[in-house]
Amino acid sequence: MSSSPHPVGVDFGGSGIKGATVDLERGDFATDRVRVETPQPSTPEAVAEVLAELVSTFDDDGGSPVGVTVPGVVRNGVVSTAANIHDSWLGVDAAALFSRAAGRPVVALNDADAAGLAESRYGAARGQRGLVIVTTLGTGIGSALLLDGVLLPNSELGHLEVDGHVGEKYAANSARETHDLAWDEWADRLTSYYRMVERLLTPDLFVVGGGVSKHADKFLPMIDISTPIIPALLRNKAGIIGAALHAASG
């Protein structure tokens, strides 16, 4: 339970919905993280119900804002792609649905964009000028483009075509697991993937997040590209912190 006015960040993922209040001065959780199972199937109504329960565990102390991540394109609160979530999300105004369910204002943004905002403000890309691309390697590949710390939302670079495949089907962490790839085999695929992004956008820095980034020493050194590439710092906290940051700045 929190009695602070800190914003709440919620990370909606395939297996869990996790939330915490965030201290924006420190860029860290102000209260312990609360986790609930993602309902199956993860339809908008089912997720909204669970989310409202989770949000109610944090005091609405003076209307502290709430931000929620969604693993798809989100424009003005409306979800318009659903690559790794239930199709019934397409066209749903997630911000309006969550606000109604929680009984307080909720904003929604893409999950990788939230991670990117957090890494840019508090993590591996802090103070970095120029173009930073934060990628999250998980079930899919999420991407966030930040120019001098300003986010260009919904870049969706996980869907670029690489070696004749959809990038995330070929090079996400789920592809490594499904095809039982050795670290060096996966690094070869990631090399193709990041070279494609390099050719398109010539970034100054890549930051690699997602749960697997805790094993960065096993694969990052083998990614053969010319742009500096470093692991994310905030790991699985990045989505929650970025969502809270976005809510507080909206």
By CB under 6 A, is residue 136 in contact with ligand BGC? yes
Is the CB of residue 175 less than 8 Å from the CB of residue 169? yes
Positions in 59-88 near ligand BGC (CB under 6 A)? 71-73, 81, 83-84
Q: Which of 55, 112, 171, 232 is close enough to bind ligand BGC by CB under 6 A?
A: 112
Alpha carbon distance, N-terminus to C-terminus of the chain: 24
By CB under 6 A, is residue 119 in contact with ligand BGC? no
Peptide bond connecting 41 to the previous residue in cis, omega within 30 degrees of 0: yes
By CB under 6 A, is residue 174 in contact with ligand BGC? no
Handedness of CA 62, 52, 77, 133 (dihedral sign): positive
Q: Which is nearer to ligand BGC, 42 or 136 (CB)?
A: 136
Q: Burial code of 156-184, b = ≥16 C-beta within 10 A, e = fewer?
A: bbbebebeeebbbbbbbbbbbeeeebeee
- Residue 191 Cβ, how far from ligand BGC at the closest point, in Å? 20
- Residue 144 Cβ, how far from ligand BGC at the closest point, in Å? 8
What character string, x for contact with ligand BGC (CB under 6 A) and - otherwise, covers 7-46? ----------------------------------------
- Residue 96 Cβ, how far from ligand BGC at the closest point, in Å? 19
Cα–Cα distance measured from residue 97 to residue 78, given in angstroms and rounded to the nearest whole number: 10
- Residue 111 Cβ, how far from ligand BGC at the closest point, in Å? 5
| Helices (H), ranges, the chain | 44-56, 94-102, 111-122, 167-171, 173-178, 183-201, 216-219, 238-249
Residue type, 172: A
Q: Which is nearer to ligand BGC, 5 or 39 (CB)?
A: 39
By CB under 6 A, is residue 168 in contact with ligand BGC? yes
By CB under 6 A, is residue 167 in contact with ligand BGC? no
Give the interface with ligand BGC as residue ranges (CB under 6 A). Answer: 71-73, 81, 83-84, 110-112, 136, 138, 140, 142, 156, 158, 168
